[in-house]
Amino acid sequence: MKSLFSVFVFACAFACAGCAASDEGDAATLRFDRPAAIWEETLPLGNGRLGMMPDGGIARERVVLDEESMWSGCEHDTRNPGALAALPAIRRLLLEGRNAEAQALMYERFTCSRGSDDPAYGSYETLGSLVLEFPGIDTAAVDDYRRELSLRDAVATTRFRSGGTTYGRRYFVSRADDVAVVELTADRPGAIDVAVALSRPARAATTVAGNLLTMEGTLDSGDPAIPGVAYRVRSVVEAEGGTTTECAGRVSVAGADRVVIRWTAATSYRGGDCAARVDSLLAGSAGHSVDRLAEAHTAAHRSLFDRVSLRLGDGTAPQAAATTPERLARFAEGADPAFAALYFQYGRYLFISSTRPGSLPPNLQGIWANTIRTPWNGDYHLNINVEMNHWIAGVGNLDELREPLLTFTQRMVPSGERTARNFYGTGGWCAHVLANAWNFTAPAENPAWGATNTGGAWLALDLWDRFLFNRDTAYLRAAYPVLRGAAEFFRDNLVEEPSHGWLVTAPTSSPENGFLVDGSERPVQICMGSTMDNQIVRALFGATADAAALLGRDSCFAAQLRRTALRLPPDRIAEGGYLMEWLEDYREAEPHHRHVSHLFGLYPGAEITPGRTPELAAAARETLERRGDEGTGWSRAWKICFWARLHDGDRALRLLGSLLTPAVGPDGGHGSGTYPNLLCAHPPFQIDGNFGGAAGIAEMLLQSHDGAIDLLPALPAAWLEGEFRGLAARGGVEVDCLWRDGRVVRCTLRSRAGGEFAVRAPGEKPRRVVLAPGGEETLRFGRR
Ligand code: FUC
């Protein structure tokens, strides 16, 4: 009986994989015809807290495990007692145009006492691996190998035949039950032999008791007086049929019909008893069939994922059956628009899988790390990266998944107030470039890149942008103190520069580019009033004043911010026709630098638009031409957003092609672009480009930052047919849109809060729509 049941379950598990390729669910699938040879071919699964990346190995499978709060380090003192005293001299040097000397003094005096190399700064660390060894499988005789990740199900599968048996594996990290599951099946009774182990390269003690594997340890806090984060991961191995024994630190199963491995993990990061939490989660999921767990998980995942659908092309997606690396390799040929839709949905999938209310926001690698020290400590860089991580959340209709960024920022405020006081001698709060799970806000150890002090302001603007999308006053009330404190810092810290009397940030930099002065070829970064800072501070003052007005508070403060904003430097166009990156038209040290910070005002900001500021938009275009289309993964993603905002769909698509360049070269070396598993390559893997790239695709189809809902503002000639449903626009409205021959046929608006909306479509007269709360209206265009 059992073996028949097993065959039935196996058949069901793979039934979906055979559905018609035109079905959207099936099209939203990553496919591979071999096991992952490198980590960047493994399939990322996650429920926002726990992550898992199976490699689909035939005789030995390694599944990388992650937990979002595996942070070494601790909250520590970053003060530098001499910094505040040096500030007037640094400012004086800048006002006298002696930037190189100002920078030298900053290196000497104006950096934090303990930077990102200090163990106390910490790093996001992998949880370890689940290692499965299959002694009975003949690796020489394997055929029909298939490995897939369904984005709608949030389930990965592996299937292959060996020695006349078809083996199947199914993996998911349950969003509903907070446990991860690996199921092993076979179409022949008693065919499964497997040894299961947990491992971690450092700070791990593993024990086995019957069918239970436990691994636990404590991470390095970097301070002997402070306990590090303790973690525990526990796995239960349950077999149908066969025999289960414990041997040499592993659970071994021989001759089973089916094996189900459940694991979960917890840490002490937020306090509480992690051992008890792990046991209660495992107990809560015990006794449920894998199908029932998978069903609950997929339903929870789809409640977020299914809010948006996107079809690009006529829906036949002839390439959908090809493997993902094959489609990636051919994307630039232009015949596979459905792959762009897949990539867009993958961005939403990754966002859903790497954060959830109550967790940390996605870090530089989301939640997926396979080493003890993750590149750049897997932290939260504030000069583009963590903000880019959230660009898909608004338009991608995932509002509640922005909650972790609010909590993260709120937690930084007390530390940012100390930094404001200790380094600048003022009120308010600020953060610079580096941030971690321990509320780090100080200027980082290397002023050339670490001293930009608008990091906290940019975070505050992201919180404001969330309000523009959700129009939820209760949320705004919670976010307002963050905005207010950030604005206060700049109100108290701007200095008057001598040439025009403008108020500017000083010291600062334009991330992370340098300029050449005094006939020297040695780049200098430290300056005052970088264009990005001016744009961010202007937007912050405006947003804070608007928020105060909406909440009926702080009218004097708001008026003061509006007045001060008028004295910020305007955006300026250089003689060469490009937007100036600094107050002076310095020669850039790297004309093709990956950051394009001075176009913050184009995207994600809204002060440069082709409609309202055509000269600045033209200068932005020239700036992008000068910067070029290359860059790290995230840099290419940002440029998609820029070109979309400039309403140049073909150029945006060209940049998408650049982002979707295979990152692994024929010699195995890694360059910028996209890995075989579609994770973004800085290199190394950095997830910001996935979220920025997905946001860029959305920006080509729908914009809402310029006083109207713009349909298809940057549609490339290759995407003449398509349809989206459920994208979100600012103003608390969901939008569906169907287009043919590049013209909008029909669009539907659904409003949560009600309101009046202007709708623009290419070649059509603008329309006005008034919706009651919960109201919906469909507009038809043209004479089709
Ligand atoms: C920023 C970028 C780098 C990298 C790092 C994590 O500082 O300039 O390219 O992405 O963050």
Residue 751 near residue 712 (C-beta atoms within 8 A): no
Alpha carbon distance 253, 70 (integer Å): 30
Helices (H), 261-372: 274-285, 290-305, 324-330, 337-354
Q: How far is the CA of 592 from the centre of ligand 1 (A)?
A: 15
- For ligand 1, say whether the CB of 682 is within 6 Å of any of its atoms: yes
Q: What is the DSSP letter of 310?
A: E
Atom of ligand 1 nearest to the CA of 595: 8
Q: How far is the CA of 503 from the centre of ligand 1 (A)?
A: 28
Q: How far is the CA of 217 from the centre of ligand 1 (A)?
A: 31
> Is the shortest distance between the CB of 376 and ligand 1 below 6 Å?
yes
381 lines ligand 1 (CB under 6 A): yes
- Closest protein CA for atom 8 of ligand 1: 512
Contacts of 621 (CB under 8 A, 6+ apart): 646, 648
Ligand 1 atom with the smallest distance to the CA of 682 is 10
Ligand 1 atom with minimal separation from the 686 CA: 10
Distance CA 654, CA 636 (A): 10
Ligand 1 centroid–CA 379 distance in Å is 10
Q: pTM here?
A: 0.96
- Indicate if ligand 1 lies below 6 Å from the C-beta of 379: no
Q: How far is the CA of 378 from the centre of ligand 1 (A)?
A: 11
Q: Closest Cα to atom 5, ligand 1: which residue?
A: 381
CA contacts within 13 A on the Cβ side of 404: 26
385 lines ligand 1 (CB under 6 A): yes
Our answer on whether the CB atom of 383 is closer than 6 Å to any ligand 1 atom is yes
CA-CA distance, 694 to 696, in Å (whole number)?
A: 5
Pocket test for ligand 1, best of 121, 381, 436, 634 (most atoms within 8 A of CB): 381
Measured in residues, the chain has a length of 784
Residue 26 CA to chain centroid, in angstroms? 24
How far apart are the CA of 463 and the centre of ligand 1, in A? 22
Measured from the CA of 376, which atom of ligand 1 is nearest?
6
Nearest CA to ligand 1 atom 11: 381
Q: From the CA of 381, how far away is ligand 1's center (Å)? A: 7
Residues of the chain under the 50 pLDDT cut:
1-23, 784
pLDDT at residue 114, as a whole number: 86
Q: Give per-residue pLDDT as tens, 687-734.
A: 999 999 999 999 999 999 999 999 999 999 999 999 999 999 999 999
SS3 per-residue string spanning 508-566: ECECCECEECCCCCCCECCECCCHHHHHHHHHHHHHHHHHHHHHCCCHHHHHHHHHHHC
Mutate to test the pocket of ligand 1, among 363, 373, 376, 389 (most ligand atoms within 8 A of CB): 376
pLDDT at 577: 98
Which of 449, 532, 686, 690 best tests ligand 1's pocket when mutated (most atoms within 8 Å of CB)?
686
- Given the CA of residue 364, which atom of ligand 1 is nearest to it? 6
Q: Are 415 and 441 in contact (CB under 8 A)?
A: yes
Task: Indicate whether residue 645 lines ligand 1 (CB < 6 A).
Answer: no
CA of 408 to the centre of ligand 1 (A): 20
Give the E-state strand segments of 550-626 in sequence order: 587-588
CB 356 within 8 A of CB 404: yes
364 within ligand 1 shell (Cβ under 6 A): yes
Which amino acid type is present at position 632? Answer: T
Asked whether 516 and 99 are in contact (CB, 8 A), the reply is no
Using CB atoms within 10 Å of the CB of residue 498, give its burial: 0 to 12 exposed, 13 to 18 middle, 19+ buried. exposed
**CA–centroid distance, residue 724 to ligand 1 (Å):** 32
688 Cα nearest atom in ligand 1: 10
In this structure, what DSSP letter does residue 71 have?
A: B
pLDDT for 6 = 38
Determine the atom of ligand 1 nearest the C-alpha atom of 511: 8
In short, whether 632's Cβ falls inside 6 Å of ligand 1 is: yes
Compute the distance from residue 238 Cα to the ligand 1 centre, in Å.
44
Point out the ligand 1 atom lying closest to the alpha carbon of residue 449.
7
* Ligand 1 pocket member 432 (CB < 6 A): no
CA of 365 to the centre of ligand 1 (A): 12
21 close to 147: Cβ distance less than 8 angstroms: no
Please give the pLDDT value at position 428.
Answer: 98
Q: Which of 401, 414, 467 is nearest to 441 (CA)?
A: 414
Q: How far is the CA of 385 from the centre of ligand 1 (A)?
A: 7
The alpha carbon of 682 and the centre of ligand 1 are apart by a number of angstroms equal to 9
How do residues 494-549 score in pLDDT, each as one tens digit? 999 999 999 999 999 999 999 999 888 999 999 999 999 999 999 999 999 999 99
Nearest to 395 by CA among 681, 659, 724: 724
Centre of ligand 1 to C-alpha 382, Å, is 9
389 lines ligand 1 (CB under 6 A): no
Ligand 1 pocket residue status of 699, Cβ below 6 Å: no
- Tell me, in angstroms, the distance from the centre of ligand 1 to residue 73's CA: 21
For ligand 1, say whether the CB of 512 is within 6 Å of any of its atoms. yes
Q: Determine the distance separating the centroid of ligand 1 and the alpha carbon of 749, expressed in angstroms.
A: 38
Whether the bond into 683 is cis, omega within 30 of 0: yes
Q: Are strands 755-760 and 709-711 parallel, antiparallel or unpaired?
A: parallel
Q: How far apart are CA 577 and CA 38, in angstroms?
A: 45
